[in-house]
A and B are shown apart, each in its own frame.
Chain A
């Protein structure tokens, strides 16, 4: 499978921007109601930055640019978290032009570790990790079963989707939603949702 990183990132940016209102509404219910606004602002900046970078760069360089741009344009909690995630993922694929099961898995693992370190969070706290960790596990299981990269990604997305559903059933213990205690039950986590949107868009793009 050959993925043009530049186009994939553009598609991801567009998906986030299209979901600005949705993500903001999810956040308004249990947080401070700015997740969609901040992420859309970040990916608009990413779009402009990538255009000036050019489409011919390697995956690592493009992802590093995405990470740096998110860090300097998003703010809030999602800026450092997604920014760190993209930077760490980038470090696994510097100079690479093609993804395979191995380096894609390493990217996911590095991104997740970065989020854990930056956010001092773990799975089960109603955060983006509740979508990303199951996605990683499914991806690795599929890779081990020698499925194609596309199939690995499909299974990862399904796990992320279930992870988002799972966040509806648990109490937030990280971020602003944690102040709600039991009142956070019934609401899906906006960060887990945006993580799922990113993976799903990557999958849809890869199918084309």
Chain B
């Protein structure tokens, strides 16, 4: 294992310290916890938005804490959901009395830990609600699985829901918008190479030199299948086709795109992919009105990327275009 770390046990702690030092105008640490909140938390009269999950997906989620997006983020151990006490502290730190919405990626562990935190907050008289993001079309959503996974489309949930919360909307309205984003966002990824969890010390999986895994999850969970490496256009077509099979788009419809790098893939290649995504959607008469390209939800040093498509209506479009000022996303 070749990593620029000190000891595996201290990676998350030292990262959090470094984040606060880098972004003191945005972030403050909740003393004694792996929780970062806005410097001015709780924001009066505003529903608090919280997300979190295992570490290793930076800039998700603390990178999106700031005006127009999240109020707080909880960092679990690498690829491991944070514990309920940590989430509970985040809830307390961001609640202004208007209630708190938890944005949870759909993994059994995340859902259980966040639900336990919600029960603890509930016992304290804090109103907490939740939305579960399950945008990954690679895995089947059936009663025989734990449902779809939450991946990079979650960033759209942060952006749009954050804009709604910033307007001072009540919790039920903020939740309605969050659920609308979840219902209209789909993602699909591909991995070219593995990543190594620091505490594990060796790669999570092995792909042969000329092999890629279509549909790989952001923790190295298996995708739909492995195939021989092909061109950017072929891979992109595969990902977009799978998304459109699940969420058909009609002529004239407006969408936003996120081409997300998993950590080790050059931004150059993300742009190459973005060109093809725009091309494929354009050919169907779909209008791409907003595009994000970059590393928004990574998977340590995994090579690969995901494509997310958010179908917009006038409400979602307006909120997506609203201002945001966070360490990892600034939009004016």
Contact = CB atoms under 8 A, between A and B. Distances in A.
Interface stretch (B20-28, B35-43, B214-222, B252-260): B214-222
A105 interface: no
Interface in B134-161: 139-140, 144-146, 149
Contact of B76 (A31, A75, A173, A174): A75
B172 interface: no
Q: Which of B76, B146, B217, B220: most chain A CB closer than 10 A?
A: B146
Contact of B79 (A32, A72, A79, A178): A32
Interface in A29-81: 31-34, 37-38, 41, 71-81
B200 A75 contact: no
Q: Which of A37, A72, A76, A80: most chain B CB closer than 10 A?
A: A76
B80 A75 contact: yes
Contacts of B149: 179
Contacts of B83: 71-75, 79
A78 B78 CA distance: 15
B50 to A, nearest CB: 16
Contacts of B80: 34, 37-38, 75-76
Interface in B204-228: 204-205, 217, 219-222
A109 B9 CA distance: 35
Contacts of B294: none
B205 A28 contact: yes
Given A28-B204, A32-B204, A34-B80, A118 B112 contact: yes
Contact of B222 (A74, A76, A180): A180
Contact of A179 (B79, B81, B197, B217): B217
A111 to B, nearest CB: 16
Interface residues of A, number: 32
Given A33-B204, A38-B77, A173-B144, A80 B222 contact: no
Q: Which size class do B's interface residues fall under?
A: 20 to 34
Given A75-B83, A77-B112, A80-B112, A33 B146 contact: no
A144 interface: no
A81 B109 CA distance: 9
B261 to A, nearest CB: 20
Contacts of B108: 77, 119, 174-176
A34 B81 CA distance: 11
B81 A75 contact: yes
Interface string A1-42: 000000000000000000000001000100111100110010
B215 to A, nearest CB: 9
A114 to B, nearest CB: 12
Contact of A34 (B84, B145, B200, B222): B200
Contact of A178 (B113, B145, B204): B145
Interface string B286-330: 000000000000000000000000000000000000000000000
A76 B109 contact: yes
Interface in A169-193: 171, 173-176, 178-181, 183
B30 interface: no
Nearest to B146: A178
A34 B79 contact: yes
B271 interface: no
B22 to A, nearest CB: 25
Contacts of A176: 107-108, 146, 217, 219, 221
Nearest to A33: B204
B112 A72 contact: no
Contacts of B84: 71-72, 80
B199 interface: yes
Nearest to A127: B108
B113 A79 contact: yes
B145 A179 contact: yes
Interface string B83-96: 11110000000000
Contacts of A80: 84, 109, 112-113, 116
B85 to A, nearest CB: 5
21 contacts: A32-B219, A33-B200, A34-B79, A37-B200, A71-B83, A71-B85, A72-B83, A73-B83, A75-B83, A79-B81, A80-B84, A80-B112, A118-B116, A119-B108, A171-B144, A173-B145, A175-B146, A176-B217, A179-B140, A179-B222, A181-B144
Interface of A: 24, 28, 31-34, 37-38, 41, 71-81, 118-119, 171, 173-176, 178-181, 183
**6 smallest beta-carbon distances between A and B, as pairs:** A77-B109, A80-B112, A76-B109, A178-B145, A32-B219, A75-B80
Given A176-B108, A179-B146, 16 more contacts: A24-B200, A31-B221, A33-B197, A33-B220, A37-B77, A75-B76, A75-B80, A75-B83, A76-B80, A77-B108, A77-B112, A78-B109, A79-B81, A79-B112, A79-B113, A80-B116
